Amino acid sequence: MSDAGKLSNSEVELIRRSQAGDRGSFDLLVRQHYQRAYNIAYRMLSDDDRAADATQAAFVRAFRGLDDFRAEASFSTWLYRIVTNVCLDHIRQAPKQPASLTLLADDETTLEQRAIPDEQADPAVQAEQRQRQQIVHAALQRLTGEHRAVVVLYDLNGFSYQEIAQMLDIAPGTVKSRLNRARLALKEQLQQHWELFA
């Protein structure tokens, strides 16, 4: 799923122009990466407004730090590292609040990466699927910020251990161990709802 690797010629040119102060070129980079950046922020923060604020703050931080980008990693890896760090800052600063299934049930907005319901499927199956998604989403929000980050980046966005290590500035082995601990914590939280996942 990840788009690491060599930058396309057009992206290299947009980055070069952006580094020279061309805001129009940076706006094009924003358009190319906004949806995925927002999805990462939404899954980490579980709130549309906070995710939008974090995404905007990340792009502002990226624009200000664009001169520091040296193409040692892909542009997307560099950018999503900024998004993740902004989200972790939000998580650390926010007062602890339990995740609410009621809030999630009322959330009818859709994002590109959310499942599109099959209109021909059985309504009972659709309701059960929505219930499973809400329970998993609530359990994800109860993880620590560091554990949530690796689950969101690896399991939900498909980044490699190496990419996540670069984004979070940790060793790949640390990514693996955090992911293992995060999955165990999720499994423990989902035990009481296991009949929905059997």
Mean pLDDT, residues 100-106 taken together: 44
DSSP labels for 7-71? PPHHHHHHHHHHHTT-HHHHHHHHHHHHHHHHHHHHHHH--HHHHHHHHHHHHHHHHHTGGG--S
Phi, psi of 75 (to 5 degrees): -60, -40
For 160-196, letters b (16+ CB in 10 Å) and e give bbebbbbbbeeeeebbeebbeebbebbeebbeeeeee
Say which residue, 117 or 38, is predicted with more confidence: 38
- For 9-197, CATH gives 1.10.1740.10
Q: Residue 138's pLDDT is what?
A: 86
Q: Residue 7's pLDDT is what?
A: 53
Q: pLDDT tens, 9-51?
A: 688 888 889 888 889 999 999 999 999 999 999 999 988 899 9
**pTM assigned to the model:** 0.70
Answer for the pair 189, 139: CB distance below 8 angstroms, yes or no.
Answer: yes
Q: Residue 77's pLDDT is what?
A: 87
Q: pLDDT tens, 81-101?
A: 999 999 999 888 866 555 444
CA atoms of 145 and 131, how far apart (whole Å): 24
Q: Residue 97's pLDDT is what?
A: 52
Closest by CA position to 34, among listed 26, 22, 23: 26
CA atoms of 113 and 85, how far apart (whole Å): 21
Q: pLDDT tens, 63-84?
A: 999 888 877 778 888 999 999 9
pLDDT band at 198 (very low <50, low <70, confident <90, very high): low
Res. 177: pLDDT tops 90: yes
Q: pLDDT tens, 146-172?
A: 999 999 999 988 999 999 999 999 999
Mean pLDDT, residues 106-119 taken together: 44
Res. 121: pLDDT tops 80: no
Closest by CA position to 55, among listed 33, 24, 72, 77: 33
